[in-house]
Amino acid sequence: MGILIEGTKVYEDDETVTYTFFSPGTDRTGQVSITKSDIRSRLSTLDTDLGPAGAKILMKAYKDAAATGTWPDKVLYAA
């Protein structure tokens, strides 16, 4: 069975970005916010306060932002 998580950017300023996320057909929902300068260290740390779904949305958003220079309004994680 695959995983699908959809995220929507709800806030961004020069220092932080916040996404809400949900996984259709499951109870995986939430909101995740991160300081942009900390994202690499927070996503690479094994002992993190980010839940798995939130971490996947932030990682996908970060990869898109690194490639385009802009944090995406919508994020789709599928595996």
State yes or no: pLDDT of 13 exceeds 90: yes
State yes or no: pLDDT of 48 exceeds 70: no
What does the alpha-carbon distance between residue 72 and residue 62 come to, in Å, rounded to a whole number? 9
Higher pLDDT among residues 79 and 70, named by residue: 70
What does the alpha-carbon distance between residue 27 and residue 18 come to, in Å, rounded to a whole number? 20
What does the alpha-carbon distance between residue 49 and residue 33 come to, in Å, rounded to a whole number? 11
pLDDT of residue 40: 75
CA distance readout (Å), 78 to 36, 41, 55: 23, 23, 13
* Mean pLDDT of all residues belonging to the chain: 86
pLDDT of residue 76: 93
The structure's pTM equals 0.84
Would you say 71 and 61 are in contact if contact means Cβ atoms under 8 Å apart? yes
